[in-house]
């Protein structure tokens, strides 16, 4: 892989990058789906950033808006019915949301790439994998068919698909689940993107393959220095590779921090609930405690703290006033709960299920 000269890295679709700006920053983003029977508020103020060589995990239950927020970053939300109504997405300090579609396309795939949960449905069933990987080079760099295929073989080698040269003309359904996900990764890495968003890349795979794919992503990141966003509903899967974690509930972050801090010492009742509901190898548990109640109805998100109907610590104020993220002692650690201190004390006192 040839190193791209810095100068081209300093331009984002023709616009100069802002020196010192985070690689990717998402600020106060709002996404809604305007459907016939109501408006689904899928993302409500999410804010986070990723730096080079950094891995950020986005954690949340199903329906918490993880995928939609990633699609907003990529600019691939189904519209209509989906609309980004507020907020900002900056890549190296350059605003993406106001960019013309033509320029946005130069960012998509080239600077920010994405891989999806189920590689079987995310790859086109009627084209060979080599054709699909090669398309990145043909469309973005004007390569010939032959050059595209050669580059595809090289990439397939790089993501450790055995016998890449023989398999480049196979179709997606001719690969195993793990190999298919490697094909997805190869395709996403084709143009050496600065940011890779992986939306639950291992959920469809069995446990050993999950670990292999995570390892691969982590190795590739080491190699390229890209920023990595790992979307997951299972912190255990990404605990080994992520640096920081953003915990999402009802389309907004409720807690952020270094992964080990959050993992060992959650500072939001929702995060605590998530930890207690999942199996952990470091803590002996007699049984798992799922969070009570069901995820919020995104057409009618509760007033105040969105988590209040399910929260064992909820007080009157929680039903009226939305808690803002406030900083805690540790570096970069924030939590959006009116009663952070009390809740943490209570958990520590009870000797907890930690």
Partner 1 sequence: MGRYLTRRVLQFIPVFLGATLLIFIMVWIIPGDPIRALAGDRAMPESVRAALTEEYNLDKPAWQQYWLYISGVFQGDFGTDFRGRPVSELMGQRIPITARLAILAFGFEVIIGIAAGIVAGVRKGNYLDNLVLTSTLVVIAIPIFVLGFLAQLLLGVQFPIFPVAGIREGWFSYLLPALVLGSVSLAYIARLTRAALVENLRADYVRTATSKGLSRLRVVGVHTLRNSMIPVVTFLAIDLGALMGGAIITETIFNIPGIGRAVFEGVQRQEGTVVVGIVTFLVFIYLIANLVVDVLYAVLDPRIRYE
Ligand X SMILES: Nc1ncnc2c1ncn2[C@@H]1O[C@H](COP(=O)(O)OP(=O)(O)OP(=O)(O)O)[C@@H](O)[C@H]1O
What is d(CA 267, CA 354) in angstroms, rounded to the nearest whole number? 12
User: Environment class of residue 147 by beta-carbon count within 10 Å: exposed (0-12), middle (13-18) or buried (19+)?
Assistant: middle
**Partner from ligand SF4, ligand X, partner 1, none contacting 81, C-beta within 5 to 8 A by type:** ligand X
Contact residue for ligand SF4 among 130, 193, 269, 296 (CB under 6 A): 269
305 binds ligand SF4 (CB under 6 A): yes
Footprint on residues 18-77 left by partner 1 (CB under 8 A): 71, 74, 76
| Residue nearer to ligand X on the CB measure, 77 or 217 | 77
Taking only Cα atoms into account, the Rg of the chain, rounded to an integer number of angstroms, comes to: 21
Say how many C-beta atoms besides its own lie within 10 A of residue 29's C-beta: 25
Quick one: DSSP state of residue 40?
A: E
Question: Which residue in the block uniquely carries the two structure tokens 């943490």?
Answer: 344
* Stretch 10-39: interaction string toward ligand X, x if CB under 6 A: -----------------------x------
| Residue nearer to partner 1 on the CB measure, 113 or 314 | 113
Question: Rounded to the nearest 5 degrees, what angle is found at the Cα of 246, between the Cα atoms of 243 and 249?
Answer: 160
The stretch among 90-98, 112-120, 150-158, 330-338 that binds partner 1 (CB under 8 A) is: 112-120
Retrieve residue 45's tokens.
């103020």
Closest CA to 109 of 188, 53, 50, 180: 188
Footprint on residues 320-349 left by ligand SF4 (CB under 6 A): 323, 337-339
CB 342 within 8 A of CB 315: no
| Residue nearer to partner 1 on the CB measure, 28 or 121 | 121
Question: Which residue in the block uniquely carries the two structure tokens 């689940």?
Answer: 177
176 binds partner 1 (CB under 8 A): no
The stretch among 90-98, 127-135, 289-297, 321-329 that binds partner 1 (CB under 8 A) is: 127-135
| Residue nearer to Mg ion on the CB measure, 67 or 253 | 67
**Bridge partners of residue 172, in order along the sequence:** none
Distances (CA, A) of 248 to 48, 144, 203, 205, 321: 11, 43, 18, 23, 18
Contact residue for partner 1 among 6, 100, 126, 207 (CB under 8 A): 126
Contact residue for ligand X among 29, 40, 190, 340 (CB under 6 A): 40
What is d(CA 291, CA 286) in angstroms, rounded to the nearest whole number? 16
What is d(CA 354, CA 351) in angstroms, rounded to the nearest whole number? 8
| Residue nearer to ligand SF4 on the CB measure, 246 or 311 | 311
State the minimum distance, in angstroms, from the CB of residue 306 to ligand SF4. 8
Binding interface with ligand SF4 (CB under 6 A): 268-269, 305, 307-308, 311, 313-314, 318, 323, 337-339
Binding interface with ligand X (CB under 6 A): 33, 40, 42, 60, 62-68, 78, 81-82, 233, 298
């Amino acid at each position: 892989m040839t190193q791209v000269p810095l100068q081209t890295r300093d331009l984002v679709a023709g616009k100069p990058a802002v020196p010192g700006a985070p690689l990717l920053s998402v600020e106060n983003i709002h996404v809604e789906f305007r459907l016939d029977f109501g408006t689904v508020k899928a993302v409500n103020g999410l804010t986070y950033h990723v730096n080079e060589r950094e891995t950020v995990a986005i954690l949340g239950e199903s329906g918490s808006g993880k995928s939609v927020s990633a699609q907003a970053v990529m600019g691939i939300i189904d519209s209509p019915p989906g609309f980004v109504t507020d907020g900002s997405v900056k890549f190296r300090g350059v605003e993406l949301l106001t960019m013309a579609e033509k320029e946005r396309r130069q960012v998509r795939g080239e600077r920010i790439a994405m891989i999806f949960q189920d590689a079987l449905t995310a790859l086109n069933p009627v084209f060979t994998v080599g054709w699909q990987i090669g398309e990145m080079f043909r469309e973005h760099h004007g390569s010939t068919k032959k050059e595209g295929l050669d580059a595809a073989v090289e990439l397939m080698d790089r993501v450790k698909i055995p016998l890449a040269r023989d398999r480049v003309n196979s179709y997606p359904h001719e690969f195993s689940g793990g190999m298919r996900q490697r094909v997805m990764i190869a395709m996403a890495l084709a143009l050496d993107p600065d940011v890779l968003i992986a939306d639950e890349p291992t959920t469809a795979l069995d446990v050993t393959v999950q670990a292999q794919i995570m390892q691969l992503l982590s190795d590739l990141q080491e190699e390229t220095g890209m920023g990595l966003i790992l979307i997951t509903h299972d912190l255990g899967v990404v605990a080994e590779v992520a640096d920081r974690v953003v915990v999402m509930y009802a389309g907004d972050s409720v807690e952020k921090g270094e992964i080990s801090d959050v993992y060992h010492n959650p500072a939001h009742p929702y995060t605590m609930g998530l930890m207690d509901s999942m199996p952990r190898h470091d803590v002996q548990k007699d049984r798992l405690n799922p969070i009570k109640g069901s995820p919020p109805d995104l057409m009618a998100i509760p007033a105040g703290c969105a988590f209040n109907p399910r929260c064992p610590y909820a007080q009157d104020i929680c039903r009226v006033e939305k808690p803002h993220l406030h900083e805690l002692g540790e570096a970069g650690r924030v939590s959006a709960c009116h009663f952070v201190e009390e809740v943490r004390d209570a958990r520590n006192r009870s000797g907890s299920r930690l």
